[in-house]
Structure 1
Amino acid sequence: MKNIENGLIELLPRTDRQRLLAAGGAVDVTLAEVLSQAGEPTRHVYFPMDGFVSLISRVDDHPGLEVGMVGREGMLGVHVALGVPVAPLHAVVQGPGTAFRIAVSPFRRELARSAALQRSLARYVNVLMAQLAGSAACLRFHQIGPRLARWLLMSQDRAQCDHFHMTHEFLAYMLGVRRVGVTAAAGVLQAGGLIEYHRGELRVVNRAGLEAAACSCYLADRRIYGLSIGRAPGPAIDAA
């Protein structure tokens, strides 16, 4: 089997890890693929390896808003570990790649057998709760430019690459703002030499500059992960 490069799985003792891996398998996840829908029964949980998934909240007839992101640092379907059979949020692939997928029944069986997996997921729930709460505060108090820089850094950390395919329409959808606002914010980042953007292809060219431009929520997310679980995805930072 392909080496499973997921932070939560890597934390497991060898025996627990082998049992879990024997119960599922690696799958490709494609751009815009819907992995779960709010209110629907969950059939599989996913441990992303080199792609990432947006957690989207929808209210009435309004467009969805991204409130969280799951990549190789975490797991999609953590509600199953809490005994909840239905998903609370929509989950859509925004960074294509691969993920380790396991059906709910064998996952629950392995969860019951592995105290280490229980501990890791309990800590990851804390990380995810902090990310969801932070996203709400970020939307209320921070401007589009710093929020865009934060989103690009989070995506780069999880995709493990500098290049992305994304349109201004998509970014506006994820950030819950008008397209014109994203266009202006991306233009500022590009003029500052932090990113390059052309016809839907975006490249991060100055990581340090992008970190300086991002709102404080980016480092807050990474610190809570470091304090709860260990080293966050992407460049190492001080978790203190």
Structure 2
Amino acid sequence: MRCTQNLILSHLTDTEFLAFETVLEPLILPRDLRLVHTGMPVSHYYFLENGIASVVAASAAGRSAEIGLVGRDGVSPPALIMEGNSFPFEITMQVAGHGRRVETAALAGFLRENPAVLPLLSHFFHNFFAQVAHTALSNAVHKIDVRLAKWILMCNDRLNGEEIAITHEHLATVLGVRRSSVTDALHILEGEHLIYSTRGLVIIRNRGALEAFAADAYDLPGVSGPASPEIARPPRARAAAH
């Protein structure tokens, strides 16, 4: 019997899933595990069942910030690179979880045999790059506390439960700011009774009020993929659009 929380895998037909399962490797994905190294060929693709993978861009001077995230809504890296080419960004598990991985060559072979699966991947890629674009917009026009609220909601869309295991240091990388700025933003959200924050853990207290606080940083119109909305967006609704 099929058992998966990954949105793409859940939409495969029984025949496709059985064929794909023969080349999928289940694995635990601890925090800080590097899935893709900047400038290195992509060896595996990861279909997360739980957890958050962070796509991070870095400057020549060593400054870095998250430009997008992937959870159970898709596949990491969020691009098909089948000819040994490198991916331009680093991808690291920001929130620990588990999932399945497949070797690049095996995925290429599966897609040749099952071309009907490509639209599922295309829907996810479309929404991921919309997410990247709107993250850039949010970084330019929203305050840090609003951006943090947006990020917490995006994680909540992709995780089980209301807890997010992440440190202030990781949040600083996520938002591209200093650790002290993260602490200040967390205090603001706590003061509004939206979250509870302790060392290495953020707990959502009032999801509806957190959405209202994030406002247009999270509630972005017109960025879902074409056709089926359940493909375009993950189970908790709207996550791929943010």
2:34 match: 34
CA distance 1:159–1:17, change in 2 (3 Å): same
1:214 positional shift: 1.2
Q: Secondary structure at the match of 1:102?
A: strand
1:75 positional shift: 0.4
2:105 match: 105
| 1:68 maps onto 2:53 in alignment | no
1:113 positional shift: 1.5
Compare 164-173 and 126-135 and name the one that shifted more.
164-173
Q: 1:149–1:215: 8 Å Cα contact kept in structure 2?
A: no
Q: 1:7–1:73: 8 Å Cα contact kept in structure 2?
A: yes
2:199 match: 199
What are the ranges of 5 or more consecutive residues in structure 2 without an aligned counterpart? none
What are the ranges of 5 or more consecutive residues in structure 1 without an aligned counterpart? none
1:22 match: 22
1:2 positional shift: 7.3
2:236 match: 235
1:81 positional shift: 5.3
1:155 positional shift: 1.1
1:170 match: 170
Compare 62-71 and 114-123 and name the one that shifted more.
114-123
Q: 1:55–1:90: 8 Å Cα contact kept in structure 2?
A: yes
Q: Secondary structure at the match of 1:54?
A: strand
2:216 match: 216
1: distance between equivalents of 2:160 and 2:207? 13
1:17 positional shift: 1.6
1: distance between equivalents of 2:193 and 2:187? 10
1:159 match: 159
Q: 2:26–2:99: 8 Å Cα contact kept in structure 1?
A: yes
2:125 match: 125
1: distance between equivalents of 2:16 and 2:88? 28
| Deviations, residues 61-94 of structure 1 (Å, cap 9, x unaligned) | 2321100000000100242357563212100001
CA distance 1:121–1:181, change in 2 (3 Å): same
2: distance between equivalents of 1:25 and 1:154? 26
| 1:10 maps onto 2:45 in alignment | no
Q: 2:111–2:117: 8 Å Cα contact kept in structure 1?
A: yes
Q: Secondary structure at the match of 1:50?
A: strand
1:137 match: 137
Q: Aligned pair count?
A: 237
CA distance 1:66–1:117, change in 2 (3 Å): same
Structure 1 counterpart of 2:199, one-letter code: R
1:233 positional shift: 2.7
1: distance between equivalents of 2:84 and 2:8? 20
* Identity across the alignment (%): 29
Compare 90-99 and 75-84 and name the one that shifted more.
75-84
2:91 match: 91
CA distance 1:228–1:172, change in 2 (3 Å): farther
| Deviations, residues 119-171 of structure 1 (Å, cap 9, x unaligned) | 11122221121111111111111111110001011111112221122222221
CA distance 1:214–1:154, change in 2 (3 Å): same
